């Protein structure tokens, strides 16, 4: 695969991932009509893990047997799935969904801070720094948080979730993507660990679920598409472009959330939102132009990158490493 085709594939995956994750704010809001935040977390993870394990089985991909890998899966699942999913569910009970989305858009900034502290990013180029700032400014324009309601505690909860996503991007890039495991295996392992951990936490805030059709449908979309399929795309982006670039998907999420708000919730699209989406895309472009080489944390072995691009098993993934 040539470089232009590979870059085009990365852009397509970035946009598709933004659609899947951007629409999640609508589905979370609807899902909370029938489930507690932790019930919602568990069900979406259960569906996603089940889907990916079936895909692994049909493709002949074996899950790793190395306990060290599963420890890394558990850490990534905690900081990148169970806790932030739960926190956003809790946060959206008391703050507007647009405020939750703008706070989520700070993930790339947290990712850079964590990457610099972890020494997986050695330097920050001017274009990348400018792109991150421009992208964040675009999300501010879209959601105008000064017009949003909600509690300070709810906002703090959402901000904490966004910071944890930043930790997850760097952690996965440093400890998981260089192990000659296909993205489907990496995703299935992390989501399986997350399912087990969330099952243990189900008593948190428990009440009998209301199995209303809209809530059940939202859980299905969140699990199968917004989590299962999305995490395959996420690992591909981290492997090919590095954690900082992969995390810029959160800049597209507010734009997608606006569009889904129109289609599902009947919200109006303002000129401010259109301008904000344009600014967001400019920011994403600036960040991507500065990716001459991946960060050290994702400089995977050639065999790992080949396995990731083809989503097929490498020799070590077949042997259950």
The per-type count for the chain, helices as H runs and strands as E runs, is 17, 0
Residues, the chain: 321
User: pTM of the prediction?
Assistant: 0.77
Average pLDDT over residues 111-115: 82
Average pLDDT over residues 166-178: 88
**pLDDT greater than 70 at residue 315:** no
pLDDT attached to residue 225:
92
**pLDDT greater than 80 at residue 139:** no
pLDDT attached to residue 219:
95
Most confident of 96-100, 171-175, 191-195, 286-290: 191-195
Show contacts of 27-30: CB within 8 Å, 24+ apart.
Answer: 27/218, 27/219, 27/221, 27/222, 27/226, 28/88, 28/89, 28/92, 28/97, 28/218, 28/222, 29/92, 29/97, 30/214, 30/215, 30/217, 30/218, 30/264
Q: Where is average pLDDT lowest: 10-14, 35-39, 296-300? A: 296-300
Q: Are 79 and 231 in contact (CB under 8 A)?
A: no
């Amino acid at each position: 695969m040539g470089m232009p085709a590979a870059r085009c594939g990365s852009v397509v995956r970035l946009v598709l991932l933004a659609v899947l994750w951007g629409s999640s704010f609508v589905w979370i809001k609807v899902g909370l009509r029938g489930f507690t935040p932790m019930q919602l977390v568990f069900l979406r993870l259960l569906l996603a893990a089940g889907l990916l394990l079936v895909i692994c089985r049909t493709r002949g991909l074996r899950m790793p047997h190395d306990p060290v890998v599963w420890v890394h899966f558990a850490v990534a699942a905690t900081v990148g799935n169970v806790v932030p999913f739960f926190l956003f569910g809790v946060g959206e009970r008391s703050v507007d969904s647009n405020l939750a989305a703008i706070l989520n858009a700070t993930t790339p900034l947290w990712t850079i801070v964590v990457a610099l502290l972890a020494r997986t990013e050695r330097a920050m180029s001017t274009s990348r720094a400018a792109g991150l700032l421009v992208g964040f400014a675009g999300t501010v324009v879209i959601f105008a948080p000064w017009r949003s309601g909600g509690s300070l505690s709810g906002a703090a909860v959402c901000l904490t979730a966004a910071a944890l996503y930043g930790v997850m991007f760097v952690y996965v890039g440093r400890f998981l993507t260089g192990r000659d495991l296909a993205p489907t295996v990496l995703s299935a392992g992390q989501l399986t660990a997350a399912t087990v951990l969330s099952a243990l936490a189900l008593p948190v805030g428990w009440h009998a679920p209301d199995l209303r059709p809209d809530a059940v449908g939202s859980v299905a979309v969140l699990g199968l598409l917004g989590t299962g399929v999305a995490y395959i795309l996420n690992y591909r982006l981290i492997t090919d472009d590095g954690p900082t670039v992969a995390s810029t998907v959160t800049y597209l999420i507010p734009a997608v959330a606006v569009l889904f708000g129109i289609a599902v919730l009947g919200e109006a699209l303002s000129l401010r939102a259109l301008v904000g989406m344009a600014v967001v895309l400019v920011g994403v472009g600036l960040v991507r132009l500065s990716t001459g080489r991946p960060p050290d944390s994702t400089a995977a072995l050639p065999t790992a990158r080949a396995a990731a691009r083809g989503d097929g098993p490498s020799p070590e993934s077949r042997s259950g490493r």
